[in-house]
Amino acid sequence: LNLASPRAPFESSCRKTDMLRQLSWHARRSAEVLKDPIWRFCWDIIQERSGGSEKFPACDEFLASAIDVYQYLQQELMAADQIGHLEDVFSKDLWPIVRSAHGDFEPLRKQFGRENCKIKWVSTEAFIFTLQQPGPREDLRPKKLEDSADCFVVAGARLFSVMSLSFAPEERYSIDDLIFESAFDEKDGVVQWRIIDISGPQAPSE
- CA 26 – CA 175 distance, rounded (Å): 10
How confident is residue 160, by pLDDT bands cut at 50, 70 and 90? very high
pLDDT at 1: 38
Q: pLDDT category, 148, cuts 50, 70, 90?
A: low
Nearest Cα to 128, choosing from 26, 70, 22, 41?
Answer: 41
Range ranked top by mean pLDDT from 7-11, 53-57, 164-168: 53-57
Residue 6 has pLDDT above 70, yes or no: no
| Nearest alpha carbon to residue 182 among 195, 200, 201, 173 | 195
Query: Rg of the chain's alpha carbons, rounded to an integer?
Result: 20
Contacts of 191 by beta carbon, 8 Å cutoff, 6+ apart: 149, 182, 183, 184, 185
Enter the pTM of the model: 0.85
Pairwise CA distance, residues 94 & 71, whole Å: 18
Tens digits of residue pLDDT in 26-66:
999 999 999 999 999 999 999 999 999 999 999 999 999 99
pLDDT of residue 149: 76
User: 137 pLDDT band (50/70/90 cuts)?
Assistant: confident
Burial 174-203 (b: 16+ CB within 10 A, else e): bbbebbbbbbbeeeebbeebbbbbbeeeee
pLDDT at 2: 38
**What span, in angstroms and rounded, lies between the C-alpha atoms of 194 and 94?**
10
pLDDT band at 80 (very low <50, low <70, confident <90, very high): very high
- pLDDT tens-digit profile of 87-108? 999 999 999 999 999 999 999 9
175, 181 contact by CB (below 8 A): no
- Give yes or no for a contact between 168 and 187, defined as CB atoms under 8 angstroms apart: no
